[in-house]
Amino acid sequence: MDPVTEPDATVVKSDEEWRAQLTPAEYQVLRRAGTERPFVGEYTDTKTAGVYSCRACGAELFRSDTKFESHCGWPSFYTPLAGSAVIERTDYSMGMKRVEVVCATCKSHLGHVFEGEGYSTPTDLRYCINSISLRLEEKPLS
């Protein structure tokens, strides 16, 4: 898995605008690449059908039919929506190489993606995403 070259964000706001729009907890995760505590997020165990969007800008990111139970403490998906919904970038912030996942539309931090963990999913990827980065629009999927 190779991180892709980043396109420019299409939603651009000042730090003050993001702080005014987001709660302090949302701001910490989405704009400062924080992480919510495991097993406390509103979507960790959700099985509701629908589309998960970026809480900061509303861009559609993941579908519920790609969500799976990884038991890691955060919502897990095996693939984002087709196209360029997310950007993957190398992250060394914890003293190890990881791949950060950000919203392609507003460059907000969503979580990280891991591969080769042995889950029985079609991609062998786990997009480990903070619930607080997402908003679920309930709707039947075709």
| Catalytic positions, written as ranges | 128
> Helix, strand, or coil here: 62?
strand
Q: What is the CATH number of the domain that holds 76?
A: 2.170.150.20
Does the residue 95 lie in any domain?
Answer: yes
For residues 29 and 110, give the distance between their C-alpha atoms in angstroms, rounded to a whole number.
Answer: 8
Task: State pLDDT tens for residues 44-62.
Answer: 999 999 999 999 999 999 9
Per the structure block, which two tokens stand in for 96? Answer: 């190890």
Count structural domains, the chain.
1
d(CA 50, CA 103): 18
Question: Is 9 within the bounds of a domain?
Answer: no
> Does 7 fall in a domain?
no
At 89-141, the pLDDT tens digits run 988 887 888 999 999 999 999 999 999 999 999 999 999 999 999 999 998 88
Overall pTM surpassing 0.75 (yes/no)? yes
Tell me if 96 is assigned to some domain.
yes
Q: Which domain holds residue 76?
A: 15-138
pLDDT digits (tens, 9 = 90+) for 4-42: 445 666 888 999 999 999 999 999 999 999 999 999 999
Confirm whether 10 is domain-assigned.
Answer: no
